[in-house]
Chain A
C-alpha cells in the first residue's frame, strides 16, 4: 500500500505545528521522519492516524483520497501505529490488549479470547517473537510490550506501520532486535514510517529520510549522509556532535562507596555490595541496561532510599543515613532521571523551579519570605546563561520542551557550590542542540574539580563523557574499565559477562 501526504497543515491556535508537509511512503520501504523534539513529527502522525483532523491538505492511500474521523477509520484503512508511550492497558493480558476494539465475539457479545490467543501466537510465530498471550502486560519488559504493540497493529492487517520514537525506551540490544523486525516487515511488503531524532538509527535502517524542522519539511536526505549533515539539517545550524574534552586531571578520591547494599520494601536486593570511588575532576560513567540498580544507586546517594547498608563517604561526610536536605547541604547536585516526575514542578514557573533546592534559606529566602527580587535577577541570569528558550522566567515548567526543561534542572543543580554531581540520564528525550549544551556543562563541571557520577543507558553518551566506566548488572559491578574500552566489550559486560583481563 502506498501512502501519500499532500500539503498537510495543522494549526493549534496561532501555532502552526505542521506547515504544508508532503511525503510519500511506498510498499516495502522504510521512510524515516527525522526532526527534533517539538518539530511536529508526532502531530503529523496523529493526523495520519485520525487522532487530529488536518486543517488543510489531503491523505492519499493507493491513489484514493481518504478522510479519517478517528483512529478506528485509520485502522480500518490499514494504518497501524506503534506509539511512543505504549497504548496498552497494563492490567489486561496480551490477548485482551490485542483484541481490544477489534473483538471476536460469540453468543451475546461474549469474548472469544481463544481466537485472540491464536492470533497472537500466529503473528508471534511469523516474526519469531516470544510473547505469551496470557501474560499481563504490566509484568512484561518494555521491549516485549513494544512487540505487543506491533502484534496489535498487525492483527488488524496494517499495511502502513508508523513507529513513533520506538527506540526511546529500548536498550541497545532491544534496539537491534527492533531493527531486525522492521527489516522483516519491509520484506513482507509493509510500508513503514520511522519517526526518530536518533541519527545513527535513522541512517542504519531508513531507505529515505525526510527532515522536518519547526513544522515544515526542510529537505530530503539519503541514508549515506553523514551524521553531521543530518544534524545540521535537523537543527538548522552546524552542530558539534563529538564532545571535546581534555584528558582528566584526577586528584585524590573524593567519593568513596564501600559495600553498598540497597533493598526495597519487599526485601528484594537492588544493589548487592558495590564499591567504587570517584576522584576530583573525574567523570565515572555508570553503564548498564535499565533496571540493573542505577536508579537505586543515585537515590541511595541522595538519601531517597530507605533500606541502605554500607558506606558512602563524600570527603569528610558519611552520606548513608543522612536526610536529603543534609545530602544537598553537603554539596551534592542531582539531575534526576525523570525530570517531569522528580526534577521539576510542572505547575511552577521557571524561577520557582530554579530555587527548589534552596527554599530553606539564603540567598532566596529570608525570614521565611521569598526575596522575589533576588530570585528574578538570578532566574533571568540563568535563562540567558543556559540558553533556556522560554517566553520568560514566569513561564511554567510544563510549557517548555524537554530540552529546555532539562536545561532548567541542570542550571539549578550547577549554580551551587558542588562537591559532587550525580547526573542520571541527563539527555534522555532531549534534542540534539540541548544535548550538546548539557554535555559541555558536564565536562566544565568536571574540569572545575568536581567529581561526576554519570548514569546513562545511552552507551554513546557514557563513552563520550566518561573518564572511567563502571558497568552494573543485576545490582553488582561487572567491572570498572577505561573509557577507551571497545563497545563490544562494554556490550558483553552489560549482559553480565566479564571478559578476561578486566578487573572486577
Chain B
C-alpha cells in the first residue's frame, strides 16, 4: 500500500514538473500562435485582436494557472492550431504511436532473442560472426534511412504495402520494421552478452552436472536470469519510442503523437504541446512502472529492496 501511494505521489510531482518546464520553455520561444496564424498578411491591429481572442494577452502565469486548473478537472482545453478540443486529438493519435512502439519493440525482441541465444550457444560459429556483423550494420543504420529503403522496396517496387499514411494495420508494418532493426541489433548483443554471463555461472555448471537436459538448462535456468537485463533494456527502448517516433512518423506520414507534437510546437500551439507532453510523460511513467513490476516478477531479489 505504501509503495502504491509513494508511486502515485512521485507520478504527480513528475508530471507537474514536466508540464511547468514545457509551459515556460515554449513561452520563451520567439513568436506566438497569433503571429504564425497571420503569417505575412498580419498587421498589428489584427495581431492584437487575434491575441485577445486566443487569450494570449493574459499574463503567462495566469494562463498557466488556468491551464493547470483545467487539467485537474480533466479538461485539456482547445487547440489553437486546429480549433478543436485537445482530448479527441490525442485520443486519435495515441493508438498509432502506442501500437507502433509496442510492435517495434516486440519485433526487435522476436529477432534478437533467438539470434542472441544462438550466438551465445554456438560461440565462434558462422552464425555468431554473421549476427555480430549484421548487428554492427543495424546499429549504424538510422531508422529514417532504413524506412526510406523499405518504402522503396516494399511499397514502390513490389507494391506489397502502403508507402505512407495510416489506413489499416498494414500501414504500421514498414515503420515498425524500420524502428525494430536498429533496436534488434542492440538487443542481440545484450541477449548474447547476458546469456554468456549466465551460462558461465556456477549454478549452470551444477544444473548440468545434475544431468538436467540441455534445453532445460538453457531456457529455464540461463534465459530466466538473462531476462532481467533483456527486459530492462527493452523497456528503455519502449519508453524512448513512446516519446520519440517523430522522425519515423514524418517519413511515413503517420498521424501519431510525434507528428502532432511537431505541428503543435511549430505553430506554438501551447495548450496542445502541453497536453501531448503530459500524455507522453504519463505514458512513460506508466510503462516504467510496468517494467518495474515485470522485473520484480523475474527477479525476486528486487522485491525486497
* Binding partners A and B: no
**Residue positions of A touching B, CB distance < 8 A:** none
Residues of B within 8 A of A (CB): none
